[in-house]
Amino acid sequence: MKHEEILAAGTSIWLDDLSRSKLTGSDRHSLPHRIAHDGVRGVTTNPSIFGAAITGADEYAADIASLSGKSVDEVVRTLTTDDVRAACDLFQDIYKSSKGVDGRVSIEVDPRLAHKTQETIDEGVALHALVNRPNVMIKVPATKAGLPAITALIGAGISVNVTLIFSLDRYSEVIDAFIAGITQAKAAGKDLSTIHSVASFFISRIDSAVDKELKALGNQDLLGKVAIANAHRAYALFLEKFDAPEWKALESSGALVQRPLWASTGVKDPAYPDTLYVDELLAPHTVNTMPQSTLNAALDHGVLKADAVTAHMDEAVKTLTALTQTGISLDAITDHLEADGVKKFEEAWISLLADVAKVMK
């Protein structure tokens, strides 16, 4: 599948990876090559990605040494925002040509703040100012405490990537929080056309969790189907919410929809096609943020499908109904995945801090 075909289907390719070596390298895995030849139109990061990038990487040693006397939190914040700022600069042309829709680079608030609303708002504002690039997106987790933070940041005119969305109910709340923020921004006289947002709906982790329970029941029929069905229903919700009169009034004032972003699209079960979560999720006004291996696979042997999402709306309802009939609670699974996602990002951040602290000694 060609990257031009993916974009023509309405899906923007963002790379779920960032490191100093990818920023400055010249091989096919470098970010400049990916932008020029593979159709990459944005980058997402998270604490795990930064941990993998910085820990043990020689290219950060000089910067760490130059920051002697700073706290480890300050050093890590400097390293991560420097990389994001450099990536923002690489995407400036795409940012301008797409009128701000793409060319985006996301950086996450400290995951230890996931359940603290005001602290998340304060950190989001600070990160936005520190990166100081119009194409940065601030990542905020879709926890209960994160919802009002999303509204506040959007209301302040800051573009937001809402992360760690697993359930349809929470996704609905995320859209409502975004619309409330746009409403605040309009009341404050902000230029709504400059405020962008994506809602990162996680995919493969759902199949991993659901498949485990299905196998325990001996149910083979639904294996590998639930995550995609859940995403298809999320897209239906997106279409419904952004066709409502409340939104249309804001849209007439220049507001732009919050695009669904498919995250966690690397296939974890080798029994499934490695392009499964790309092929089945092509749709207008969407983003697919892919790890490097998934992007390589999609461009090599991905299957372009017309109406990959909208043609399967009814089938998605039947799949989720069939899951309920097995006695498996998708709500319980998605609640656990949200809590576990926050925990894993927090652990990754703490581990990164500890590793950098060792280098600073």
Active-site annotation holder among 2, 96, 99, 139: 139
Mapped to the 3 state alphabet, what secondary structure does the chain carry? Answer: CCHHHHHHCCEEEEECCCCHHHHHCCCCCCHHHHHHHCCEEEECCCHHHHHHHHCCCHHHHHHHHHCCCCCHHHHHHHHHHHHHHHHHHHCHHHHHHCCCCCCEEEEECCHHHCCCHHHHHHHHHHHHHHHCCCCEEEEEECCCCHHHHHHHHHHCCCCEEEEEECCHHHHHHHHHHHHHHHHHHHHCCCCHHHCCEEEEEECHHHHHHHHHHHHHHCCCCCCCCHHHHHHHHHHHHHHHHCCCHHHHHHHCCCCCCCEEEEECCCCCCCCCCCCHHHHCCCCCCEEEEECHHHHHHHHHHCCCCCCCCHHHHHHHHHHHHHHHHCCCCHHHHHHHHHHHHHHHHHHHHHHHHHHHHHHHC
Q: Would you call 99 a catalytic residue per the annotation?
A: no
> Residue holding tokens 């096919």?
28
Q: Which two tokens stand for residue 299?
A: 């461009």
Angstrom distance (rounded) from CA 199 to CA 179: 12
Angstrom distance (rounded) from CA 122 to CA 298: 38
Distances from the Cα of 182 to the Cα of 122, 151, 256, 289, 295, angstroms: 19, 8, 9, 24, 33
- Angle separating helix axes 117-131 and 72-90, nearest 10 degrees: 60
> Residue holding tokens 């009814």?
314
Q: Which two tokens stand for residue 296?
A: 């390589």
Q: Which residues are catalytic, by number?
A: 139
